[in-house]
Amino acid sequence: MSDKPGTPRPQIEMLLESLPYIREFFGNTIVIKYGGAAMAEEHLREAFARDVVLLKYVGMNPVIVHGGGPEITQYMQRLGLEVEFVQGLRVSDEQTVEIAKMVLIGKLNKDIVLRLNRHGQPAVGLCGDDGSLFQVAKRQVSGPEGADLDLGLVGTIKRVDVDVLNHIAEDYIPVVASVGADREGRSYNVNADEAAGAVAAALDAYKVIFLTDVEGWLADASDPRTLISETDVEQIKHNIGDGAVKGGMLPKLQACVTAVERGVRSAHIVDGREPHSLLLELFTDAGIGTKVKGQR
């Protein structure tokens, strides 16, 4: 049966629902952390590229910061190297950093750039070394008893040169691989979640979105029904302080806190296993995943 005269079809209703969001986000910067499941399968890689190109065409300024943890792990295992994580961060020696740079810069970054180009928007691949984009220092992490843990060549970002990104973002989609170097030129592995949060804060982005392998932040990591759909910095800090946040969710929530405390209006943790989850979060009333409210 056809729709009654004057009744919008479902497809039209979806387009109309997106209009206020397109108007709100027009001209604003959206930083997207890309990694995990969203990079694992061909149909998800295609969906992501199309989504990002659409954002550019409707007047937004998307900036992609990507990791590639699963592929780094695969290459390390092929070479017989030990893979170890502490508090969601990869313990990294010189060999690990070398592999990370080869995988992130030499392979994944260029794959993303080529895919975006093919869908109609020119993109430029970067890493933290290009134009001194990231100034990095060795990251200090405290263990359960307060003692410092040595993660090796794991870096934390001290400064982001926004001039580099702003110049490129005028005409291109920047695609940033999460590695960087210190003042002496020593390379470090940088967690991609941290990098995305730092980039969003430095750019004064409107939003930062983290694509991940779960529905969002779950109160019980084993139960998808415990999704926390909206939260704030105070609740995140309380749960981190209590030790309730573990594994890969820890750096994501820490990056959300960094971003919104420095002026980003909201941060979102979204399931990258769902095709077009980026558009669903941005352009629908319900949204998906976990939203971390900003402070302005």
Say which residue the tokens 């990507």 belong to. 66
Nearest to 138 by CA among 75, 184, 81: 184
Q: From CA 169, how far away is CA 200, in angstroms rounded? A: 13
Q: In this structure, is residue 201 part of a structural domain?
A: yes
Asked if the model's pLDDT at residue 2 lies above 60, the reply is: no
Confidence of residue 19 (pLDDT cuts 50, 70, 90): confident
Chain segment 170-207, per-residue pLDDT in tens: 889 999 999 999 988 899 999 999 999 999 999 999 99
Percent of the chain with pLDDT over 90: 57
The whole-number average pLDDT for the span 143-163 is: 84
Of 171, 178, 167, nearest to 72 (Cα)? 178
- Is residue 269 domain-resident? yes
Q: Alpha-carbon distance 190 to 138, whole Å?
A: 10
Inside any domain, residue 218: yes
Report pLDDT for 194: 94
Asked, for residue 251, whether it belongs to a domain, the answer is yes
| Contact assessment for residue 269 and residue 252, using Cβ atoms and an 8 Å cutoff | yes
| 3 occurs within a structural domain | no
Is residue 272 predicted with pLDDT exceeding 50?
yes
User: pLDDT confidence of 35, banded at 50, 70, 90?
Assistant: confident
CA angle 85, 87, 89 (to 5 degrees): 50
| 210: nearest Cα among 260, 141, 285 | 260
In the predicted model, is pLDDT for residue 265 greater than 70? yes
pLDDT at residue 257, rounded to an integer: 94
> Does some domain include residue 9?
no
3-state secondary structure of 257: helix
Pairing mode of beta strands 266-271, 290-293: antiparallel
Residue 114 has pLDDT above 70, yes or no: yes
Confidence band, pLDDT 50/70/90 cuts, at residue 21? confident
Number of domains in the chain: 1
What pTM did the predictor assign? 0.90
- The residues, any chain, with a CB within 8 Å of residue 118's CB and separated by 6 or more, are 49
Confidence grade of residue 88 (pLDDT, cut at 50, 70, 90): confident
Residue 264 in tokens: 């980003």
What pLDDT does residue 1 have?
46
The residues, any chain, with a CB within 8 Å of residue 235's CB and separated by 6 or more, are: none
**250 inside domain:** yes
Strand partners, 271: 212
**Sign (positive/negative) of CA torsion 81, 86, 90, 95?**
negative
Please report the pLDDT score of residue 10 as a whole number.
65
List the CATH number of the domain containing 129: 3.40.1160.10
* Domain encompassing residue 178: 27-293
> What's the mean pLDDT when you consider all of the chain?
89
Structural domain contains residue 14: no
pLDDT of residue 57: 93
